[in-house]
A and B are shown apart, each in its own frame.
Chain A
Amino acid sequence: MQRATKTTPDVVRMSGVRFRWPGARGFSLSIEDFVLPAHQRVLLVGPSGAGKSTFLSLLCGIVTPSAGRLEVLGTDLTRLSNTARDYFRAEHFGIIFQMFNLLPYGSILDNVMLPLSFARDRRERASRNGPAEDEARRLLQSLGLDAAELAGLSAANLSVGQQQRVAAARALIGGPELIVADEPTSALDRDRQLAFLDLLFAEAEAAGASVILVSHEEQLGTRFDRVLRLDEIAVSERSAAA
């Protein structure tokens, strides 16, 4: 596949990245070279323990590599201060976890709009066509949730499938460039998995966002532009003590 345009930088470029969790049983991961072009949907496959979570922590700038370059949207995360990296994540990433995505005490809308409190540009984009609440409701609606029906419920009252869709709405709100999902469908049955992905992709495409999804289920690959194997791009190592 060719580079889309010269003006759109690669979404992710990693080279010579080294990282090791602190502690005696530290797990380490090194990535020699990894490039993710813009506007792609990538499935990253790897068995448990291959370092998927570590890879995502690095990608999202929650941890910093000890060596190497880690560029996201042309910005080298390793050169940012901790605060700047957190802000960068708020502005440019939409993150969906495997489960337990929501603050149990918050309302549905509060949960969806959570990133807007930390990201100014996303806040402005989300409120371009009226209040951000409306945008949140629109996203919930297009992800197949009735915002009005859920209004009175707290996040803890939702089914797992509903929770994941609320999480997707939160990841999408304000149009971040990169949606990162860590096994978002593993708690769903097969039909719902595909339905969830279709809804997520449709919204991501409408917003022009790239998607990186990590899973151990290769059969999801048919829905993606590319399928990468984590063990092909990264070398993981567990300390002897483990």
Chain B
Amino acid sequence: MIVPRPIIPRLALQSLRNRALTASLTVLAIAFSVMLLLGVEKVRTGARQSFADTISGTDLIVGARSGSIQLLLYSVFRIGNATNNVTWKSYEDIAKRPEVAWIVPLSLGDSHHGFRVLGTTADYFERYKYRHGQTLTFASGGPFKDLFDAVIGADVAKALGYEVGDPIVVAHGLGSVSFIEHADKPFRVSGILAKTGTPVDRTVHVSLEAIEAIHVDWQGGMPVPGESVSADAVRQMDLKPKAITAALVGLKSKLATFKLQRAINEYAEEPLSAIMPGAALQELWGLVGTAETALSVVSAMVVATALLGMVTMILTTLNERRREMAILRSVGARPGTILGLLATEAGLLTLAGVALGVVLLYATLALLRPWVDATYGLNLDIDAPTQREWLMLASIVAAGFLAGLLPAMRAYRLSLADGMTVRT
């Protein structure tokens, strides 16, 4: 007794090969749609990962009372502005609390050729962690030692062509073209940080005292005429800051996080907010989730369109294939077999489309990854499809198979109505 070879997949394959051109175009359409759908998914998770990777090891971020997303965005991502400042007294009060292991002040508000200037302490370079706890490293030079030293991020150095020792002038305010500059107190590049893929790359870091120094002769956002203080004179002054924008806080024990957060939020002398970066990120995802969903829906629609194209392709060939159906019926194929044949064809087309789409996507990712990272600071990991992505792919194949049932049902009805007549 010989084992019967499975006839349906074989016939389906041969039939598809017979229509190689239309079949391959259909496969290509499905492949592109799958590529889009999966690409959106990859960029979406990549963007989330990039955001999540930006801050690590910080337990609380403290700033003036505001929404947690706003605080997170301006303190870590340099997006938007602070509503208010935190007084130095509040900062010192928090720093003195027993739960606090370390605290790093952040002072924002100035810029250099469109790059934000961040006033902080040298601790920043040790305490600030990104991507699973990596510490900042210097590509050249080192942290600031002098009052007018600046440490620049990798993108700043690359965009402006700076090297260690170059002088830079900080502009007041945040515009990329600013007419009010702190030209009387130029800085010197003391170090250049290695690329991190975070907003650190696009930041000019100076000491907190330097921020104070360049504003010492300013009032209400403008230099006070006739009261200019020279760079040398300012060194002799008390440069203890009066206010900062925000602070990163590390705790001795994570168990104390909620307790300290509540204490800061209820701080009596000044309205403050303390946020947990992870929780704020979640809140952010909740906010951008709608846009993400819209994007996913659009790409799902594109997949549906491709499948519709496939159904159309199969339907248009159906009439010329009625004789094929009659032949199969005559040799004893059940209507169910014909149903299976066409559904299998659709399934095979979709499977091929999905497989090709995945291959194309990974090839594109591999090709564009360095460019995306450099241009958008978006690190797209090339890893195997996640469980969620596998599920998406499997659903597409299933949907293709089901969509194939539509022409299959029609062929089934035709084959019943045609009887023994071979129509051409």
Task: Say yes or no: A86 contacts B417, CB within 8 Å.
Answer: no
Q: Which residues of B contact A87 (CB under 8 A)?
A: 332, 334
Q: Tell which of A63, A100, A118, A123 touches B419, judged by Cβ atoms closer than 8 Å.
A: A63
Task: Say yes or no: B14 contacts A106, CB within 8 Å.
Answer: yes
Q: Tell which of B2, B17, B328, B421 touches A123, judged by Cβ atoms closer than 8 Å.
A: B2
Q: Tell which of B1, B7, B15, B329 touches A62, judged by Cβ atoms closer than 8 Å.
A: B329
Kindly state whether residue B422 has any CB partner on chain A within 8 Å.
Answer: yes
Q: Mark A53-80, 1 if CB is under 8 A from B, else 0.
A: 1101100101100000000000000000
Smallest Cβ distance from A228 to chain B, in angstroms? 18
Smallest Cβ distance from B345 to chain A, in angstroms? 12
User: A interface, how many residues as a size bin?
Assistant: 35 or more
Kindly state whether residue B333 has any CB partner on chain A within 8 Å.
Answer: yes
Kindly state whether residue B282 has any CB partner on chain A within 8 Å.
Answer: no
A60 to B335: give the CA distance in the assembly, Å. Answer: 15
Q: Mark A117-139, 1 if CB is under 8 A from B, else 0.
A: 11110011001000110000000
Task: Say yes or no: A101 contacts B332, CB within 8 Å.
Answer: no
Task: Say yes or no: B332 contacts A103, CB within 8 Å.
Answer: no
A118 to B327: give the CA distance in the assembly, Å. Answer: 13
Task: Say yes or no: B14 contacts A62, CB within 8 Å.
Answer: no
Task: Say yes or no: B1 contacts A105, CB within 8 Å.
Answer: no
Chain A stretch 77-97: residues in CB contact (< 8 A) with chain B: 82-83, 86-87, 89-91, 93, 95, 97
Kindly state whether residue A115 has any CB partner on chain B within 8 Å.
Answer: yes
A123 to B1: give the CA distance in the assembly, Å. Answer: 8
Smallest Cβ distance from A21 to chain B, in angstroms? 8
A119 to B1: give the CA distance in the assembly, Å. Answer: 13
Chain B stretch 318-345: residues in CB contact (< 8 A) with chain A: 323-324, 326-337
Task: Say yes or no: A56 contacts B332, CB within 8 Å.
Answer: no
Known: A53-B421, A54-B419, A123-B2. A105 touches B15 (CB 8 A): yes
Q: Tell which of A82, A100, A114, A119 touches B422, judged by Cβ atoms closer than 8 Å.
A: A100
Which residue of chain B is the closest to A52 with respect to CB atoms? B420
Task: Say yes or no: A62 contacts B419, CB within 8 Å.
Answer: yes
Task: Say yes or no: A83 contacts B422, CB within 8 Å.
Answer: no
Q: Which residues of A contact B419 (CB under 8 A)?
A: 21, 53-54, 57, 62-63
Kindly state whether residue B388 has any CB partner on chain A within 8 Å.
Answer: no
Task: Say yes or no: A86 contacts B333, CB within 8 Å.
Answer: yes
Which residue of chain A is the closest to B329 with respect to CB atoms? A62
Which residue of chain A is the closest to B332 with respect to CB atoms? A90
Q: Which residues of A contact B15 (CB under 8 A)?
A: 103, 105
Q: Which residues of A contact B334 (CB under 8 A)?
A: 82-83, 86-87
Count of B interface residues, CB-CB < 8 Å: 30
Smallest Cβ distance from A207 to chain B, in angstroms? 17
Q: Which residues of B contact A177 (CB under 8 A)?
A: none
Q: Which residues of A contact B18 (CB under 8 A)?
A: 104-105
Known: A53-B420, A97-B422. A91 touches B332 (CB 8 A): yes
Kindly state whether residue A98 has any CB partner on chain B within 8 Å.
Answer: yes
Known: A86-B334, A95-B331. A103 touches B11 (CB 8 A): yes
Kindly state whether residue B5 has any CB partner on chain A within 8 Å.
Answer: yes
Which residue of chain B is the closest to A116 with respect to CB atoms? B4
Which residue of chain A is the closest to B18 with respect to CB atoms? A105
Task: Say yes or no: B332 contacts A119, CB within 8 Å.
Answer: yes
Q: List 27 A-B contacts (CB under 8 A).
A: A53-B419, A53-B420, A54-B419, A62-B329, A62-B419, A62-B420, A63-B419, A82-B335, A86-B333, A87-B334, A89-B332, A93-B330, A95-B330, A95-B420, A98-B422, A100-B422, A100-B424, A103-B11, A103-B324, A103-B327, A105-B17, A106-B11, A114-B331, A117-B5, A117-B331, A120-B4, A127-B2
Known A82-B334, A105-B17, A106-B14; further 20 A-B contacts with Cβ < 8 A? A21-B417, A53-B419, A57-B419, A62-B329, A83-B334, A83-B336, A86-B333, A89-B331, A89-B332, A91-B332, A93-B330, A95-B330, A95-B331, A99-B422, A101-B422, A103-B324, A115-B331, A116-B4, A123-B2, A124-B1
Chain A contacts to B: CB under 8 angstroms = 21-22, 53-54, 56-57, 60, 62-63, 82-83, 86-87, 89-91, 93, 95, 97-106, 110, 114-120, 123-124, 127, 131-132, 170, 182
Chain B contacts to A: CB under 8 angstroms = 1-2, 4-5, 7, 11, 14-15, 17-18, 323-324, 326-337, 417, 419-422, 424
